[in-house]
Amino acid sequence: MALRKIVIEGDDILNTPCKKVEKFDSRLATLLDDMIETLKDLPLHRWHSLKELL
């Protein structure tokens, strides 16, 4: 598993259309595991900053 970069509102990548998910495979499972690991690694003060964006 790996830590992923967190992007916030205003980042151009968030306006890029994504591919439709056709199947749940190991690649998608790895992405979701990485996302969970990334969020668990955040210091508490970063969680509060992210909650303000939601």
B/e letters for 11-35, b = 16+ CB within 10 Å, e = fewer, are eeeeeeeeeeeeeeeeeeeeeeeee
pTM recorded for the entire structure: 0.68
Q: CA quadruple 15, 32, 41, 43: dihedral positive or negative?
A: positive
Q: Give the tens place of pLDDT for each residue, 18-42.
A: 999 999 999 999 999 999 999 888 8
pLDDT at site 9: 82
Give CA–CA dist 2/34, Å, rounded: 5
Return left, alpha or beta for 6; rule: phi > 0 is left, psi -120 to 50 is alpha, else beta.
beta
pLDDT at 49 exceeding the cut of 80: no
